[in-house]
A and B are shown apart, each in its own frame.
Chain A
Amino acid sequence: MAPIPAVGDVLPPYRVAAVEPDKIRIMALVLRDPNPIHYDVEAVRAAGMGDREVNQGGVTMAYVVNMLAAWTGSRAAVRSIECRFSANVFAGDAVDVGGAVRAVREVAGERLVDCEVWADRGDGVRAIHGTATVALPFT
């Protein structure tokens, strides 16, 4: 990572090659989400949503956090993230996560970097769009 990011810098991209259905099932337990579209393909079909398990929107959001943590070097650096969910991600989908710097601020001795962030399905459909702020140390 460059020591001082600049407005317009593109964040190092993060890619999930294929969302695994068993990981969706684990997160259904963690989130205590009883919705069967996350673990029962018949329920997905009955809902008219296709024939693959639906990834939780929060987990796709977690991929965005992973990108920010990889860029900054720590989870603690992620100060805020706001996401709008616009499309479902399904088991087997690739997910491409990206971001770009929109502002750099100094607040109370910290360098805060505001970013635009997104997560696209492998077919190009945008699943998440939002903003995030990370704190970077002065170097």
Chain B
Amino acid sequence: MSALVELDALRMALDGRELPGAELTVEAHESALADHAMLAPAEGTDHAHPLWLLVLALRGMGITVDELCLLAEKRPQDTLLFGNCTIAQHRPVRVGHRLRTRASVGPVVRKESRGGGVLDFVTVWVEVHDLSAPSNGPVGAVTEGFIFKRGA
């Protein structure tokens, strides 16, 4: 069984790390399917559901969640939890528009759980830009709070 990664090593791997980001589009069929699955009534506009900002953030980190787990040295006995999420929607995401994400990792924080275990908090920040109107600033930003619950 592998040892728990030292906090200094974790910070070296993750703190402030710029992620590749990605270019993405919310396709009309995916928007319709997601609306159906999220029980969201159609609006008759090309505005994607605001939760698409989270979808774009997860798709647009430029690395997969599995790759994030590798960077965080997640072991088989560790559990990844999605602890919190903040979405800021400055303007609606438009279905069919080409979007660009910029992503980075915030400071890693290690805490002790109530049960005496180790919790590593890893925050990923993603900004979403609409390439058809780049001068208007980002359409939104997402903060994803991942928690690595370290097993014994």
| Whole-angstrom CA separation of A70 from B87 in the bound complex | 18
Q: Is the CB of A80 within 8 A of B54?
A: no
Stretch at the interface among A4-12, A71-79, A107-115, A116-124: A71-79
Q: Is the CB of B38 within 8 A of A82?
A: no
Interface size classification for chain B: 20 to 34
Measured between beta carbons, the chain B residues less than 8 angstroms from A94 are none
Contact of B85 among A26, A66, A75, A83 (CB under 8 A): A83
Residue ranges of B at the interface with A (Cβ–Cβ < 8 Å): 30, 33-34, 36-41, 43, 45, 47-51, 54-55, 58-59, 65-66, 81-92
Within 8 A of B (CB), among A45-80: 57-59, 61-63, 65-66, 69-70, 74-76, 78-80
Measured between beta carbons, the chain B residues less than 8 angstroms from A58 are 51, 54-55, 82, 85
A80: nearest chain-B partner, CB-CB: B88
- Residue A81 lies at the interface, judged by CB distance under 8 Å to chain B: yes
Chain B binding site: helix, strand, loop or mixed by DSSP? mixed
Chain A binding site: helix, strand, loop or mixed by DSSP? helix
Q: Is the CB of A30 within 8 A of B30?
A: yes
| Whole-angstrom CA separation of A58 from B59 in the bound complex | 14
Q: What are 23 inter-chain pairs, A to B, with CB distance below 8 A? A: A23-B37, A24-B37, A29-B33, A30-B33, A30-B37, A31-B55, A33-B58, A62-B38, A62-B40, A63-B38, A63-B39, A66-B39, A69-B43, A75-B47, A76-B45, A76-B92, A78-B50, A79-B89, A82-B87, A83-B84, A83-B86, A85-B83, A85-B84
Measured between beta carbons, the chain A residues less than 8 angstroms from B30 are 30
Residue ranges of A at the interface with B (Cβ–Cβ < 8 Å): 16, 23-24, 26-27, 29-34, 57-59, 61-63, 65-66, 69-70, 74-76, 78-85, 130
B60 CB to closest chain A CB, in angstroms? Answer: 11
B88 CB to closest chain A CB, in angstroms? Answer: 5
B26 CB to closest chain A CB, in angstroms? Answer: 10
Measured between beta carbons, the chain B residues less than 8 angstroms from A62 are 38-40, 49, 51
